[in-house]
Structure 1
């Protein structure tokens, strides 16, 4: 009797001149830090906090070690139910670095929707904001926690429980973190995205390092991002559009350098706030899903007055803009 053939992943893709990236998110971040460590990576306009790539990677490593110390193993589900903030991005990278699967949860979910996602995805550790609009997240989590036996820990951003999480990092050495990363493959899952649930309960889709990194990289190549670009992200972070936009400028193939651009987080700005953010921080590109204008405008040209040093007809000005027409309306297409 013949030996059984081991199962292998298969790929179906067209031919092209550019090979796909085979990195994990963590290894790709390390390469970016090595070349652009002193450049700004992340800016939170609301709080005024800023990170260079070196500083950002250091904080990612601390959080990754803290999650490992809290018992998060490769493949474990870590939920993020939070509004836009720097901690959201740190969790995003830290979970990818240790091989955990980050489950993004819509900040607008009500108790029954959160309960469904926590149960179906098997979330064992949840990171959450304290509140959003009229929702008290702590109250909602306690309301459903009894029905989610797999949920063993909850940490709230801006709360002592967040400090307790990060304080656990010294229990795991950098060598242990490196050993965990050495076990990872670019084909490992690192994210579960959920649909809006408008036609029933939300449905989850699993994404890998390979999925996310290559989507972001090739979009960035098409737009021709470089380390000089600064990108404003006022879109909700839980949406997959934001994931690709962040990685398209924070990652890349070296050489030539495509990485090292700066990302500016926004709290889902209304039009005038987004415009002021771009002007103050010299953005070259801003991104919005365009829902305020009745549809996605991910590839609209925007007028030169909204960009720093970019022509509205330049292919490098391709971006999304969902702001008010009086503030930042789309210009003519090239």
Structure 2
């Protein structure tokens, strides 16, 4: 396990570069993101450990970041002052571009993995916006009518975007549909667990009603599968073709809110989570035994309980960000937390 302390700045998000196997970016904030400056860190993994390659100071907290999919040296960040900034690792001190249309904190940014000339942002101002790095104004605004914590592009469909928010719902938008009163929204469903799920007694009493949803991620191998996490401590896996009755799989074990979930880029049934209980955990949704083409039958056969495969408990404050390495062996990942620590570790070493 490798470790680096971002002294004076509490980590909020971490991302591996999609271009370099040894480069990591971290978004951080002074004073736990409540007040003060932010800092974007660019690290390289070397034979001497984690080495800071570059950092950029910002006037307000940074809550999220995403690497550009078209330029190997550029990172876009989400800021507490409502701004979005694009930094270039080869340019000193200042962002190469910035946008300011959100009127409250920007809490997430996500670069399109298919149509790589656009990215999205979500904000506490109840909107999701679509952007192009080549334009000064946003391309589209989606009113969510609720504080929106995360917006994410599907890795399988360039026209499909999902978002999760404080009203306890997941929303899907398909930009192939005509613009109308629905603003391209094609689906909305509650982030809830069916009452027939085994082990329901392990969930909080309010787990069957909508709770604030803080994070989400699309499965990299199964186009219709989406995982969510939120304040009721549960991680849920939905198949969007059959989500009316609730989650197909629920994963229970965290003691406090789930801040981040991330599906493995190597294994279709494995995902990571980071929680306010100061742990990062690796899970299986039990789909690894399902034959190809029978995923929907597995979903409709009844709700199931996922398995915790292991955990990493080195953080001493809230664990706030995790990401998988896209290269090499399938177990490497990075995590950050409010304890000012960046850890790079092998999931396989934490599995029982």
> What TM-score results when the alignment is normalised by the length of structure 1?
0.27
Which of structures 1 and 2 has the larger relative contact order (alpha carbons within 8 angstroms, sep 6+)? 1
